[in-house]
Amino acid sequence: MQFTLSFVGPAPCTGLAALARKYGSIMYLRMGTCGVVVASSPSAARTFLKALDAWLANRPAVASAVDITYGRQNRVFADYGPKWKLMRKLSSVHLLGARAVANWAGVRRDEAGRSLLGMAEAAEAGRAVVVPEVLVCALANIVGQITVSKRVFDAQGDESSSYKEMIVSLLTGTGMFNISDFVPALSWLDLQGVQARLRRVHRQFDGLITKLLAEHAATAEERAREGRLDFVDRLRASSKDGDKDADGETITEVNIKGLIFDMFTAGTDTSSIIVEWAMAEMINNPSIMGRAQEEMDRVIGLHRRLEESEIANLPYLQARSLSGPAAKIDPMGNNFELIPFGAGRRICAGKLAGMVFVQYFLGTLVHAFEWRLPDGEEKVDMAETFGLALPKAVLLKAVVTPRLVPAAYA
């Protein structure tokens, strides 16, 4: 059973935008027994995310989030306070800060190479490529190596497809209008079956994380001897023997699971969705694809593939469809006309890592292949489906032809 509010509709983002055009940029709505404030203009967003930031730093304890985040023991849904600050600090220093992102460039390069090889093999066999499966497989393996020193999938296939379905179920389920969130007294009934479905998926996900942590613990001494500590090693070192920080907080095993959960969910499907949408737009607009390829051919050539350090030399790849005064809008949280990562205290901790992955993988795919739709298809279906992120309703499939010398795919 799907629950929708008649004045919002099945796609809340567009429904609320329509209401804002009629009633103004700040609206108070009564949804069930809960009051909801909608702020939908740059000035309103600035007020709530900057001026009132300290008052609004907590995330709502929605039923679905409690069920899938070990009781909100992760960074994304934890209340703002000493424990959240500790998790954010450790994530920034060892995982998502500028130095940490630079340190893991080799992992991203390796996974990009594996992706290109798999796509080149598909091209040789005459198979279409399912773009989101390529991206999610690569991202999951990047996250796995950075967090627990292990690639999650050897290749795209049933396992990686099942993993993507699991992530999509979590993101769409958590983003659904759940009647339990708006009439909390009915939560125990789970009228739509949302909580039962999410708990079931979370058990699968927890099984994956538990297995990875068990394998990780078995090889801890080897990594310590070789001096190649990963994120979980550093988290455990920070709380060894119950050590606490200045606020008396420490990282528990449940927090470690929660942080890994954050990385595998927020760190995979969100970035892959952006690249998939960008590729869909470029396939529908071949002239834009061609111009991007011309720029990369001029800067890089056709004898090798793109390196992350070269992105700064590719202004067209980084270009946005904004002009006039809007062309100077910064998407990193300083200009409230465009806040893809949010703003204020709860701004996305992975914004830098996300930007690096999106630009690097998008550029790599555009540079390495010619793209066309499978026979019989004229345009990419651009319909979306609602959730915490907005994935394409129909997965992007395309036929690719290698553009570079064969050695670039080895």
CA distance 294 to 280: 19
The first and second tokens of residue 137, run together, are 């497989």
State the pLDDT confidence band at 12, using cuts at 50, 70 and 90. confident
pLDDT for 11? 78
State the pLDDT confidence band at 386, using cuts at 50, 70 and 90. confident
pLDDT for 345? 92
pLDDT for 234? 93
pTM as predicted = 0.90
pLDDT in tens, 246-267: 778 899 999 999 999 999 888 8
Structural domains in the chain? 269-409 (1.10.630.10)
Looking at the predicted structure, is the pLDDT value of residue 1 above 50?
no
pLDDT average, residue stretch 173-179? 77
Looking at the predicted structure, is the pLDDT value of residue 168 above 70?
yes
pLDDT for 65? 78
pLDDT for 5? 65
Q: pLDDT exceeding 90 applies to what percent of the chain?
A: 63
pLDDT for 254? 94
State the pLDDT confidence band at 188, using cuts at 50, 70 and 90. confident
pLDDT in tens, 21-71: 999 999 999 988 989 999 999 999 999 999 999 999 998 878 777 878 898
pLDDT in tens, 341-369: 999 999 999 999 999 999 999 999 999 99
State the pLDDT confidence band at 160, using cuts at 50, 70 and 90. low
